[in-house]
Chain A
Amino acid sequence: MHTYQLRNLTVRHPGASASAAAAPAALHAISLTVQQGEQLALIGPSGAGKTTLLATLACAQRPAEGGFEAFGTDPWALGEGARHRLRAQLFLAPQTPPLPPRQRVVTAVLAARLPQWSVWRALVSLVKPADPQAAWQALSRFNLGDKLYSRVDRLSGGERQRCGLARLLLSPAKALLVDEPLSALDPALSELTLATLREEAASRGATLICSLHQVELALRHFPRIVALRDGRIEFDLPRGQVTQQMIEALYQGEQPASAPLPDHEALAVKLGIGACL
């Protein structure tokens, strides 16, 4: 069964769609098929469209053209209610952890259950957390068990990021879309985090799509690599077929545009400035 089937998909940012169809698209002609239970990494330079692609897959961004199917149906052909129920099957973890600073960690993690809860249940859980054990288990898989009752603003950047991922463990979604989960983590925690995400996806047969900046980690952990550049798919290959040249070509031109000046030239510039004053 397919989790996703994308045919020639074009996506424009919300602001751009209103002004003109000629506005540059964030994603061009994306064709991608993802089987249920597959694990793949999205790589590519900043601004390549990784986040937009994940938002599109989460039905948080309507594509402008092309075919888009999630679990065999086109979400944008469904009614609003049905589409919103479908969103509960797709879990999007954004790069910046979406946690209100004044909230407690236990509440923030349990918010994953909101789509399944009635409003009454949600209200009661604000006063007395509905399932603190489940929250604690999710947190301790990221070494955060002792932060269960802390406030979010007492956490460090890396702790917040893992707290956002612990929320993912509590969601019963069948597709996990994770945007740069390692941007605030050290190497050891990065390994732990990726291993936990893959383990969780495998244990419940969920699809895992993860955007990453660390190419070596992507190659080591994910069997399939999809590379984006300027809103187009550069390559979509099993990791065995990805070569060093392809990676270099993908990130080419991403180095700072002007190479740093040699020392004596920099000195000359400084002197020049001095002379003007």
Chain B
Amino acid sequence: MLAVPATLALALVVLPVVGLLVRSDLTRLPSLVATPSSWHALRLSLLTAALSTVTCVLLGVPLAVVLARARFRGVRLLRSIVLLPLVLPPVVGGLALLYLLGRKGFLGMLITTLTGESVPFTTTAVVIAQTFVAMPFLVVSLEGALRGSGDRYEQVAATLGARPWTVFRRVTLPLLLPALGSGVVLSFARALGEFGATITFAGSLEDVTRTLPLEVYTQAEVDIDSAVALSLLLIVVAVVVIAVARPRSWEGGLR
């Protein structure tokens, strides 16, 4: 009974990739990929995705702990708000960032007055856009794990004389590692594929804001073969990410 829809679902995932492979001219592939602009794009993509993943971890872990453990009023509303970037079209997110941090945005004006710099259309803007869309993946995956395990281990640790910070470092964090692993992979992958928010908030400037997906989009308008080749490159990077950092929790190996 389940075999038919399951096969269909698998086909929907696999066949488009096959289509891309069939369409591509494998003999020309090296020359198409090895252009300065695509190397710039690849390097920029890996750099920004890594930076935004680090930002996601630094900001998202505390947020997830607060959301899972806090008992104040309105925490449920906060939980929904955190999911906003997940359901918002990325283009809308990019526009929202632009009107916050752009020259006319209230925070952007403040930054420009204080430092003379402006955020949009810089590499920083790329990282901010990617963090914006990727953070919910990390927070959701961590918060689920935190609420699933409850705070019984933390309570026991407290009765054993461990201070709150010790409890967080020696109990909460280690117990979170599997979920953190899958959260990191998910948010890195999401950051790597980010397009809509980036192009509206950061533009498409080669070697500054033109990440790999933006490069694919640019090439698709002038040289479709080159776009296909770059897409394959993105697929390879994605597969490597999953293979290297495959979260154990996805395979039922939790514990």
A, B: real partners: no
Please list the residues of chain B having a beta carbon within 8 angstroms of any beta carbon in chain A.
none
Please list the residues of chain A having a beta carbon within 8 angstroms of any beta carbon in chain B.
none
